[in-house]
Amino acid sequence: MKTWARVACAAAIAMSAASATWAADKGKNWTPPPGKLYAQALSDQLMKEHPELISVTFHGVPPGMDKVYTMFAGSFPERIGNADDTDDIDVITKGITIVDPRWNRKDPVRKFVMMMPLRDAGGGHIGLLVLAYKNPPGANKSETEYFVAASQLRDSLQPKIRSYAELFQQVQ
């Protein structure tokens, strides 16, 4: 009986240590290559051209990986490589659009988030584009207005993306 208790105790300690390590690493599931990716250049350009945005992020599975859904470019570089949430994965795998007015949220800045399928120049569904819009008190923009603006912005990217792999190419 003592042997069984020791084995159970050792297993519990090992599992606890493994869980702690997993929890520490859970946030990142991918490390980008050095340099700037084309997707990052697109994100930077959108942020420069659209002062109404708080953030722009690109999500998907990096080339050579399988079912590793991650943010691979965006306006918060420290978040690149963060694992995607289930709603991000739903947009990527199902092609749905999520209109999120962020009601009753404790966001530090009021925002309206659009999560939309990203498409390449050929019309292929290649990932997820997340656009967070400033939504100051009194803005009174409707969900439809945010949806139309986000759709137009997303569609303006389409001819600039020849393929999904191109988003991961290095630029100067």
The pLDDT tens digits for 83-138 are 999 999 999 999 999 999 998 888 888 899 999 999 999 999 999 999 999 999 89
- pTM of the complete model: 0.84
pLDDT of the residue at 103: 85
Higher model confidence: residue 95 or residue 21? Answer: 95
**What is the pLDDT, as a whole number, of residue 18?**
36
Q: How far apart are the C-alpha atoms of 72 and 51, rounded to whole Å?
A: 22
The yes-or-no verdict on residue 5 having pLDDT over 80 is: no
Tell me the C-alpha distance between 101 and 98, whole Å: 10
Beta-bridge partners for 129? 58, 116
Residue type, 110: R
Percent over 70 (pLDDT), the chain:
85
Residue 104 has a pLDDT of: 86
In angstroms, rounded to a whole number, what is the distance separating the alpha carbons of residues 82 and 74? 11
Give dist(CA 152, CA 16) in Å, integer: 48
